[in-house]
Amino acid sequence: MLIAFNKPFNVLCQFTDRSQPPRATLAGFGLPPDVYAAGRLDYDSEGLLLLTDDGRLANRLTDPKHKEAKTYWVQVEGTVTDEALQSLRRGVQLNDGPTLPAGVEILEAPSLWERVPPVRFRKTVPDAWLAITLREGRNRQVRRMTAAVGLPTLRLVRVSMGPHRLDDLQPGQWRQID
């Protein structure tokens, strides 16, 4: 079984949380029993999370040797320059080594659901949206890459993993994939 789930902002990619106070987890969304996340999506990120009850499928979806493309829509703070775009496309140096080249395009602001709480709006600070496609998955990689080129991430939404897309799923909704 493979499930596409639109993970809301500030939800953990696991079914339990031992912290105090406990945070929201996948347990609150009526997902089928015996599925688990194939990969991670940060607590403060949103969008497509794949879940499965098949360990081999989970491995195929997440193992870096398969280099499945993952696409994110990223709202960044600042003015996007050609230099920043070229750096992201070539790969940037992070504290754990250089990243692989990324696909990066400037987006018009996408039509998304409201985030709760909303991203803080500041009239004097410009922002922009980027579509970033990676073929690796380091911890908080997109956020670290945009910060490395002077564009801190304000909002991050994963819209696809390999051939699987978020499409019209709203936060907290899920569907089974054939």
* Residues catalogued as catalytic: 42
- Distance between CA atoms of residues 27 and 20, nearest Å: 17
* Cβ pair 127, 93 in contact under 8 A: no
- Closest of 101, 176, 171 to residue 136, by C-alpha: 101
* Cβ pair 27, 49 in contact under 8 A: no
Q: Which amino acid is at 121?
A: F
Distance of CA 117 to the CA centre of its chain: 17
Show the DSSP H helices in the chain as ranges: 55-62, 82-90, 141-148
- Distance between CA atoms of residues 132 and 102, nearest Å: 7
